[in-house]
């Protein structure tokens, strides 16, 4: 009888824990919510039951976006905030802030071409976050991520509120593309495909670790073609849209994927591992995308990327100086403000 009673107590305790994890909710802000990434990202986050308040901010049209999304029958309350005079209200009380704000890529543009405009936007939002929600988790989507993440970090440092465990560059789109392209190439179930992608989030700084894909059999040509397609998938979309846009929908999907996984980890789900561009000392670069174990406080553990093939090691060796230079560009931008 005593054993049965103990088992009953353990069972009901587990149920209460599961119920708590399932209903725990957070305020999440999307900064740049009226844009090509922001709108579909906000819509997808409205579907996440862990989001109890969805705060949408932009410099134009946010009330309309908020009104539209608020009609979707999911529990999250939606608020719209327009203009920098309302940025504080948008950010107050946020647990997670997702930042896709900035100008999109156009045909012929590199991520460096985006730097001057987007650097100022990200720096301004970092200032606002430092004042209104310094303890939040910050997810940077705005390109060029290799430089905007260091900009955000340096701005928070200026205010004395930088926590490296709570700043993430969202590189999930590279993983999403890798999973899609590899599963198609190998005839695998995409739902069970998980390709690690390390490095940065621009061109040849993106390194899919194809040598580590379980059960895959790639020819040398496969490796070359897949690697190039994953690295330059954004160019493929820009060209296909014929100048009318960039990779907004797939980026919104990837942004929601990472945000939801982070929310799950914050809520107490164990063993949540995702690739992200975070501060670490795995290479000479101050920020580097690698598998990260997530938890209630953000980064719980930075994981090593494992053994590389000769070709992958050569790509890694070649990219690190670029990552160092791109990070320095972001740091210098803040120092010279």
In contact, 327 and 212? CB cutoff 8 Å: no
What is the DSSP secondary-structure string of 228-278?
HHHHTHHHHHHHHTTTS--SHHHHHHHHHHHHHHHHHHHTT-S-EEEEEEE
Contacts of 301 (CB under 8 A, 6+ apart): 292, 293
- Mapping DSSP to helix (H, G, I), strand (E, B) and coil, where does residue 76 land? coil
201 flagged as catalytic: yes
Q: Which residue has the tokens 């059999």?
A: 217
In contact, 213 and 72? CB cutoff 8 Å: no
CB atoms within 10 A of CB 64: 12
Active-site position among 71, 81, 201, 228: 201
Give bridge partners of residue 335 from the DSSP assignment.
Answer: none
Q: Are strands 287-295 and 298-302 parallel, antiparallel or unpaired?
A: antiparallel
- Point out the residues that are catalytic: 201
């Amino acid at each position: 009888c005593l054993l049965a009673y103990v088992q009953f107590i353990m069972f009901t305790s587990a149920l209460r824990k599961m119920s708590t994890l399932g209903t725990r909710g957070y305020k999440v802000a999307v900064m740049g919510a009226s844009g090509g990434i922001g709108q579909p990202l906000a819509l997808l986050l409205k579907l996440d039951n862990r989001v109890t308040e969805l705060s949408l901010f932009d410099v134009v049209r946010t009330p309309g976006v908020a009104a539209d999304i608020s009609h979707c029958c999911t529990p999250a309350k939606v608020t719209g905030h327009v203009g920098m005079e309302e940025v504080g209200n948008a950010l107050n009380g946020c647990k997670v802030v997702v930042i896709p704000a900035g100008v999109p890529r156009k045909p012929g543009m590199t991520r460096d071409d985006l730097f001057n405009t987007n650097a100022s936007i990200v720096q301004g939002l970092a200032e606002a976050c430092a004042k209104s929600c310094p303890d939040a988790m910050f997810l940077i989507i705005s390109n060029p991520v290799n430089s905007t993440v260091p900009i955000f970090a340096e701005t928070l440092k200026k205010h004395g509120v930088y926590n490296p465990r709570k700043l993430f560059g969202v590189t999930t789109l590279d993983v999403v593309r890798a999973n899609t392209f590899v599963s198609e190439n190998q005839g695998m179930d995409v739902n069970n495909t998980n390709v690690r992608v390390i490095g940065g989030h621009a061109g040849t700084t993106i390194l899919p670790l194809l040598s580590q894909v379980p059960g895959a059999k790639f020819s040398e040509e496969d490796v070359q073609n897949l690697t190039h397609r994953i690295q330059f998938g954004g160019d493929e979309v820009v060209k296909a849209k014929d100048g009318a846009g960039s990779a907004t929908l797939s980026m919104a999907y990837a942004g929601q994927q990472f945000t939801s996984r982070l929310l799950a980890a914050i809520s107490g789900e164990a063993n949540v591992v995702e690739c992200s561009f975070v501060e670490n000392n795995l290479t000479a670069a101050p920020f580097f995308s690698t598998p990260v174990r997530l938890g209630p406080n953000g980064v719980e553990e930075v994981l090593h990327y494992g053994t590389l093939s000769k070709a992958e090691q050569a790509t890694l060796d070649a990219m690190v100086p670029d990552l160092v230079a791109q990070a320095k560009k972001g740091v210098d931008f803040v120092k010279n403000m």
